[in-house]
Structure 1
Amino acid sequence: MSHDITTTIESEPRDDSEDVRSWAGDFDPLADQDERRVLFAALDSFRQYRRTAHMNTTHRRRQAFYALPSAHWQMLAEPPFSILENFNRVDDAIDVNAEIADAILATGLSSFGLAPDPHPADPRGNWHGTATTSDVNKAHSTLRQFYRDWSAEGRAERELCYDPVIQDLRTEFGVRVAAGQEIRVLVPGAGLGRLVFDLARAGFSPEGNEISYHQLLASSWVLNHTLGTQKHSLYPFALHFSNLLSREQQLQTVRIPDQHPGTVMAESQGNPEAPRFGQMSMSAADFVVLYRQPDNREAFDAVATVFFIDTAPNLIRYIETIHHCLKANGLWINTGPLLWHFEDGANRSHENSHDPQDQGISEPGNVELTEAEVFCLVERMGFVIEQRQPAHERPLCGYIQDPNSMLLPLYRPSHWVARKKSD
């Protein structure tokens, strides 16, 4: 979609019961049938979180457990195994996680002026029952992502991906930021908004961009509506039963957010010695469609892509867009792997509707490139790569990874800095 719907951080936490229009812009998603369908499905997926998590996690496992020979399940039901008791504990953890899903839903409904219990005959307001299995799976993964982006325990993952970006920006723009100049940084694929928040806290003026309503609804909640530092509990790994060393590992809990955005912003504004807290926003749009618009031409001092460029079916479109929206001599900083999301050729996103003349991520065709080919393409299309981290120096990094798991899928993300050539 080519529309810009924005959500901004507030300096004070909000009550979820308030009718808070934290989304604004020149486009009403409820007025477009396709857009409304995608938004409704995202909202409904959070509504269904509790029921589907219980059904698919513990209910079916209880059925399978009781299907064991009677003597066997009775032995495993007793200490030290206590399998049935563990199912009960997992159910309790699901209910705790569901409180976050319900809070995201409540703030989302309030933001868009939708009723919690809509009339079934109202097509513009009845969002119940619209989520598919894929939508519900996205809600589940979105909740787990709070572990990576907004818990103290997820700091280890964040520091390997976000910290190098912030350091590169400080090296380039630190003097200007200290002098009070506005440095605009675009963050495509901003997800739950943590890098956007960290950049604003460092004095930059970041604009996050995200196409997924699941991510946008969740980021709006954590940025604008959480009750305070570590006020919300999350069991990130409770629904996973494999590669565990212990049940305590499965049922570990974290508290989010580790930094409360409203509090941090208020403290910064109230302390003249503290760094300026930059203006931040999130746009709901297809990256290629929105940021190739004329009003975004040479609008940003820097673009930071973190675990993002491999979401492109056609990387050339992404590079064209980044080149278009960067100022002359602007900086492009990238960190992430090359796990091409459309490698099977069929995994096309229909998160949002699009202008038929510029289909963005829905454009047909896809190609997978090696890192060497990415470097060649970036330099051919108007950039000079100034820094490249050698492969043997790159740290291994998980993604929403339980560090105690017996299975540790790890990335060795590429980190490089490129500069747009001046005309």
Structure 2
Amino acid sequence: MALPMKMNDRVILREEDEEERRRRRKLEEALEVKSLRRIISAYLNYPEAAEEDVRRYERSFKMLPPAHKALLPHYPSKCQRLRRCISANSYFIFDMLQAFEPPLDLSEDVDVCDDPHLENIPSNHDVSGETNFGSSQSTSSNQRMHTSKSDQSDWVEGSNAICNSTIEATTNKEEKHEGHGESVNRSHSDKEMHNCDGNNGNVSSSTRTWLDPSSQLHVPLVDVDKVRCIIRNIVRDWAAEGQKERDQCYRPILEELDALFVDRCKESPPTCLVPGAGLGRLALEISCRGFISQGNEFSYYMMICSSFILNDCRTAGEWTIYPWIHSNCNSLSDDDQLRPVSIPDIHPASAGITEGFSMCGGDFVEVYNDPSQVGAWDAVVTCFFIDTAHNIVEYIEIISRILKEGGVWINMGPLLYHFADVYGQGDEMSIELSLEDVKRVALHYGFHIVREKTIETTYTTNPRSMMQNRYHAAFWTMRKRSATTEHGTP
């Protein structure tokens, strides 16, 4: 017969449990620091990695026979032009990092990450797990980043936390920042998403010690490749040259929202969530059409860049980047490869956004699986997103749960599952459904198809390249059935 536990024993157990929770929180925060340092280092490694490419081009040129070199007298000067382009890109990147406000202290010691218990903590911190698209997932699942530099992003301990400051962008209360002119200002939402305890608010990094070369980590080239991918994504979302792709992908979504919410009013605008928002242009365009729009993005590579463009760009065309310099293949001419692109094509703060616009950082499943999100949205828009899932069934289930009855799900994109080709990680889940199965699962979760079609589009493609990858993307509008409809009442 088991003896009853004494009061002192219970107190000791509670203290041990609390100590274990504190230890786990400390380890998880250390993982966040380590991951964010690695991502920042990838950005900082960009100039040297790009310079090494140029040196490789020069070494190859020197190996040519003199007669062959004579046919290419312009080649050395091209390499110098490449260096100037790399310098311009690096200047943009460094200015972007200077504006970044980390959500936690990057100067802290992260040797705690070597703790042997760390392997038992479920982790979404692997910054090398991105595949296929620049919008795929990586890094922190705990962090909310908002489109305001003036408000501090929240850091909350605990892997499933949703922070209490869904910060809203406004157009009628613009705030001046020294040297930066107008910025998208934020005010706290009347409806807090979730009350969280813990360390709320950014850690001040005014000294920017984490940008010091001595703090820079050596990162694999695959990480720097993600930086190059971000540069191409900037063209897609924030350059005039990306307008064609935006017309292919974003315009059908925007036209569908306009048609479905004809009677929306400023006093009570409909709410729209954009998971996988990338660099934020689609979420901003939806906001400009009179919706309370929230973009959600998991990749810190994306969030650092989107925050800079949304908050710190003072005018349209303020920056010049060279997005196509990192590939010598399929170029029609050197001038095409080395051509400049001006960004942003619009000034975000002057775009006419609806009060309530926000960007939320974190894993879609963890953030929006929270009870506070049930029935919270009139529309969910997914563009090149649903194939980022480990488990697409879970994505569809959550989309159904967070929509109001009668709410709409608009989707645009292929089914190029991001984790389908992850080898050597035996426990990495990847559920890869056909389009037919995706629609069958959606039907199970209460959706019915309003309309569907196929749209041909590209994704971050160089429009002047000799190679153009095209998708026959699935576009659909599905509506969540009301409870009365589900029970057979017309």
Same fold (TM over 0.5): yes
Residues 293-314 of structure 1 show CA distances to partners (whole Å, capped at 9, x for unaligned) of 1111111111000000111121
The letter of the residue matching 1:207 is: Q
Query: Are 1:66 and 2:158 matched, yes or no?
Result: no
Deviation at 1:110, TM superposition (A): 6.6
Task: Name the CA shift for 1:198/1:368 in 2 (closer, same or farther; >3 Å).
Answer: same
The letter of the residue matching 2:293 is: P
The letter of the residue matching 1:343 is: A
Equivalent residues of 1:104, 1:217 under 8 A apart:
yes
The letter of the residue matching 1:62 is: E
Q: Which residue of 1 aligns with 2:446?
A: 382
Q: Which residue of 1 aligns with 2:238?
A: 150
Q: Which has the higher contact order (CA 8 A, sep 6+)?
A: 1
Among candidates 431, 435, 442, match of residue 371 of structure 1: 435
In 1, the alpha carbon distance for the partners of 2:242 and 2:27 equals: 35
Query: Are 1:208 and 2:295 matched, yes or no?
Result: yes
Alignment of 1:95-110 (within 5 A): 95-109=87-101
SS of match in other structure, 1:32: helix
In 1, the alpha carbon distance for the partners of 2:427 and 2:447 equals: 24
Task: Name the CA shift for 1:282/1:156 in 2 (closer, same or farther; >3 Å).
Answer: same
Residues 23-57 of structure 1 show CA distances to partners (whole Å, capped at 9, x for unaligned) of xxxxx99980111111111112111211211112x
Alignment of 1:316-335 (within 5 A): 316-335=393-412
Deviation at 1:278, TM superposition (A): 3.7
SS of match in other structure, 2:100: helix
The letter of the residue matching 1:284 is: G
Residues 333-376 of structure 1 show CA distances to partners (whole Å, capped at 9, x for unaligned) of 0001111111124498xxxxxxxxxxxxx984212122122111
Alignment of 1:292-303 (within 5 A): 292-303=369-380
SS of match in other structure, 2:471: coil
Query: Are 1:46 and 2:43 matched, yes or no?
Result: yes
Same amino acid, percent of matched pairs: 33
Task: Name the CA shift for 1:99/1:318 in 2 (closer, same or farther; >3 Å).
Answer: same
Query: Are 1:282 and 2:369 matched, yes or no?
Result: no
Deviation at 1:290, TM superposition (A): 0.9
Equivalent residues of 1:30, 1:36 under 8 A apart:
no
Q: Which residue of 2 aligns with 1:116?
A: 208
Q: Which residue of 2 aligns with 1:351?
A: none
In 2, the alpha carbon distance for the partners of 1:179 and 1:247 equals: 50
SS of match in other structure, 2:405: strand
What is the RMSD of the two structures over their aligned residues, measured on CA atoms?
2.4
Task: Name the CA shift for 1:186/1:29 in 2 (closer, same or farther; >3 Å).
Answer: farther
Among candidates 81, 84, 87, match of residue 92 of structure 1: 84
Residues 51-86 of structure 1 show CA distances to partners (whole Å, capped at 9, x for unaligned) of 211112x1111111112223322x1442xxx11111
Instruction: Give the TM-score normalised by structure 2.
Output: 0.69
Equivalent residues of 2:266, 2:290 under 8 A apart:
no
Q: Which residue of 1 aligns with 2:3?
A: none
The letter of the residue matching 2:280 is: G
Aligned pair count? 359
Residues 218-271 of structure 1 show CA distances to partners (whole Å, capped at 9, x for unaligned) of 00000000121011001111221111111111112111000111222xxx4xxx
Q: Which residue of 2 aligns with 1:21?
A: none
Unaligned runs of 5+ in 1: 1-27, 121-125, 269-275, 349-361
Task: Name the CA shift for 1:278/1:413 in 2 (closer, same or farther; >3 Å).
Answer: farther
Equivalent residues of 2:228, 2:323 under 8 A apart:
no
SS of match in other structure, 1:174: coil
Q: Which residue of 1 aligns with 2:342?
A: 255
Q: Which residue of 1 aligns with 2:314?
A: 227
In 2, the alpha carbon distance for the partners of 1:213 and 1:328 equals: 33
Among candidates 400, 406, 410, match of residue 460 of structure 2: 400
